[in-house]
Structure 1
């Protein structure tokens, strides 16, 4: 955390699937306005960690505190927690039978009780910011992958989340579409949006993150500011991973 007020805290979080340990003793603090990038090989626990944060996966041990409240308590209603978070997956998960505008206004209207006119006005403004104004009435199958992913980002933002979770959102995109989506996320970071994201885009993590966490076999093996992680990693496994993905 970079000296900002604490928004999210994990203490000794553990998650298993049967005998397999997926997350082991994970500690993490995220401050308001922080951008935390999770890096590591496939299967290192990045996606599972994000799914635990928004309570799509229950943890087996440890504590998750969000906005000062322990949300890992089994008595907590996950739906109330998710109202305060936005999540975007690598599969866009847009409703194919709804237009772009309808996809973006569904949750504000149905979950948050926002009047239709206001929900549509705010969605149109956000869609315009991300270069999607001309696509508001189209259905997802009329859009490119990059456009669909930007719509998914806007849909998450339409609920005004205090925390945005992004899970490898460029992984399914053609290389020429990745830049548009990363530019959209970069803009959100510059505006102070608090984010935790799993990514394979090392240059993006180096430029945008306030904290980089390297995961290996379900543990945060090393974390710190990107300038240190990418230039002077302390752990040999971190160095090996970065050499492999950066080709250096």
Structure 2
């Protein structure tokens, strides 16, 4: 069974149809990377999967549960998904360790001791152990984004959504965040991510999905998409970006 099944999802804002019947599945331990120009629907798709935006039509299933069913508790569904956005969204008034453990304690019922122990192991393993008691404004952008990712994976979510997580970073900080995603892939996380980092997408993805105009135009392995794209729209897009 797929971890995620998106079936015929449509989303419209005023007169603009942003998602036009999207069908997509993500299997367990698979890394699927969404590519496409800004405005192609990548971020909106991720926001509908996390129920930040409600779909106008279609279904989204998480391990077989229809999370778009009106009877589904949205907060319960969201608690099964880890999300990291391009802006770190850390609480400025909380120390790093409290930012990481807050949801684990308040939403998932993890004890403070267990949450802190797990968080510290992750921080230490990523060279951030000495930052646990710092406030976010004492960290670089790359460090803040890694903290946001640690927060998202602390409770072993069924699915991890990453939305342009390097786009707000200075170029020299991008590598350290992408290294963490490589590690998550090695550890077997199930990931759906949108990125403009084409070389990274080629390296880390099991499958590339090219979106344009709110629909999926083409998908396949990195070699298929980057080396032998079949659709004219894909060829045109890739001709404009470095990959």
TM-score (norm 2): 0.98
Deviation string, structure 1 residues 173-203 (Cα, Å, up to 9, x no partner): 0000000000000110111100000000001
Runs of 4+ in 1 over 2 A off after TM superposition: none
Equivalent-residue separation in structure 2 for 1:131 and 1:23 (angstroms): 40
The match for 1:110 among 103, 106, 111 is 106
How much has 1:130 moved relative to structure 2? Answer: 2.0
Q: Secondary structure at the match of 1:246?
A: coil
Tell me, what secondary structure is at the counterpart of 2:39? coil
Structure 2 unaligned residues grouped into runs of 5+:
none
Q: CA deviation at 1:75?
A: 1.4
Q: Deviations over 1:141-175 (max 9, x none)?
A: 00000000000000111122111000000000000
* Correspondence list, 1:149-160, <5 A: 149-160=145-156
> Which of the residues 5, 16, 30 maps onto 1:20?
16
Q: Could you say what secondary structure the match of 1:62 adopts? A: strand
1:181 aligns with 2:177: yes
Which residue in 1 is equivalent to 2:239? 243
Corresponding position of 2:60: 64
2:192 and 2:125 map into 1 onto residues whose CA distance is: 22
Report the counterpart of residue 32 of structure 1 in structure 2.
28
Note the C-alpha offset of 1:228.
0.3
Instruction: Please give the alpha-carbon distance, in whole angstroms, between the structure 2 residues aligned to 1:218 and 1:127.
Output: 38
Q: Which deviates more, 180-189 or 127-136?
A: 127-136
Post-superposition shift, 1:11? 1.0
| Alignment check: 8 A CA contact 1:39 1:200 kept | yes
Figure out how many residues of one structure are paired with residues of the other and give that number. Answer: 243
> Is this contact kept in 2: 1:83–1:159, CA < 8 A?
no
* 1:129 CA displacement: 2.2
Q: Secondary structure at the match of 1:154?
A: helix
Q: How many Å apart are 1:22 and its aligned residue?
A: 0.2
Is 1:124 matched with 2:120? yes
Within 2, Cα distance between the matches of 1:83 and 1:127? 22
1:49 to 36, 45, 52: 45
Deviates more, 1:126-135 or 1:207-216: 126-135
**Which ranges in structure 1 are unaligned for 5 or more consecutive residues?**
none
Cα RMSD (Å): 0.9
